[in-house]
Structure 1
Amino acid sequence: MTARIAGRLPDELDEPQAEVYRAITGGARATGPQAFALTDEAGRLRGPFNAMLLSPPVGMAVQAVGAAVRYESVLTDRVREMAVLAVAAHWNSTFEREAHEAVGRACGLTDSELSTLRAGGLPDLADPAERAALCATAALVEVGALNDQEYDDTVAEWGERGLFELTTLVGYYALLALQLRVFAGEGPKDPCDTPQTESRTP
């Protein structure tokens, strides 16, 4: 499937759309090293961001959630990027995988950890806080809920705030993956090519 909506040049945007564009390309996303480009060479938004221009009120709110889970969370950079990549593997999102593998490398994820996440597994993590967060992520992705042990383990390491932020992150990147399927032409996995996932028990 090819993209269903064309990218818009900056000078083609009306003011509400331009406000969303500025919010996405400016602020925290524009500071520091850029692991992946938000726009193409002509300035069109890439990936899921282009679709946010279709509804500026909703697009503005969605991008704000994304900025909050990336830049204002108590989760560490490593945990955040591993969780994003677990979502990307589940949804087979090429854009999310490529973009966040680049971010993950900058955050210290190893080639082995990236390869395991790409295959839909969980890395062998020594840190108990990272293990708890990734086991919770796997449960959220696979069944959409946590059992009591998973809930207690995650809260013990990250607090209720951290767990709330983790569930928000998983939901946000699942939303982007869905919109990439609908608007940008990404497709679901071939059911005959689904990797075997590792147990989420640490």
Structure 2
Amino acid sequence: MRLPDLAPEDLDPEQRALYDAIVGGPRGTGTQHFPLTTRGGALTGPFGVMVHGPALGRPLQELGSALRYATGLSDRLREIAILTVAGATRSEFERYAHERVGRAAGLSDDELAALADGSFTSLSHAEQTAYDFCRRLLDGRPRLGNEEYADLVAVLGTTTITELTVLVGYYRTLSDLMAVYDVGAPEEQQPGQ
């Protein structure tokens, strides 16, 4: 482990304010699909990295919260996009966490496997277009020709295009942070432990 877990009692005031914003915000107060904290109270996944540098961690978590809870993306479409990034970047934690959220949003096990291996297809034209656009961004091809752009706008609209572009960049940043600090999927907590 490259960064130590920081339990609430280990945090300085700035770190504690960030910790409280994460566990007291929609991530911590809504339905929990995966543990936000360890048994000892330390934050898991990217949040455990963010708390080490709260000057950047606070705006990062605020952007992530906006992407999860304040966009016009449907839960299903948002999870397709997040899991597209997780599969492309091989982010163990994001795949672990968002497969659970994705199931709750209606993604099947076959769809989750296809998102992980990059072979996702959907009968929904909007879902397929969003997936293809996310893959294009992840492949380093964000520049669109005029006709491609017009087709994308006709299916998704400019607001969704913006939301997906920011989402891909945000989750790629989280994946990079967790790769640098070797943060993988947590061990499953058994009930009563």
CA contact (8 A) 1:48 1:184 kept: no
**C-alpha distance in 2, partners of 1:22/1:184?**
24
Structure 2: runs of 5 or more not aligned:
185-193
Amino acid at match of 1:138: R
1:79 CA drift (Å): 0.9
**C-alpha distance in 1, partners of 2:95/2:182?**
15
**C-alpha distance in 1, partners of 2:3/2:133?**
35
TM-aligned CA distance change 1:146 to 1:128, over 3 Å: farther
Identity of aligned residues (%): 42
1:23 CA drift (Å): 1.2
User: How does the TM-score come out when normalised to structure 1?
Assistant: 0.86
Q: Which residue of 1 aligns with 2:125?
A: 128
Q: Which residue of 2 aligns with 1:58?
A: 56
**C-alpha distance in 2, partners of 1:91/1:118?**
10
Q: Which residue of 2 aligns with 1:22?
A: 20
Give secondary structure in 2 for the equivalent of 1:20. Answer: helix
**C-alpha distance in 2, partners of 1:37/1:90?**
23
The alignment of Structure 1 onto Structure 2 pairs a total of residues equal to 183
CA contact (8 A) 2:28 2:36 kept: no
Amino acid at match of 2:95: R
1:117 alignment partner, one of 115, 118, 126: 115
Give secondary structure in 1 for the equivalent of 2:51. Answer: helix
**C-alpha distance in 1, partners of 2:148/2:132?**
7
Q: Which residue of 1 aligns with 2:188?
A: none
TM-aligned CA distance change 1:152 to 1:37, over 3 Å: farther
Task: Tell me the C-alpha RMSD between the 2 structures.
Answer: 1.4
1:152 CA drift (Å): 2.6
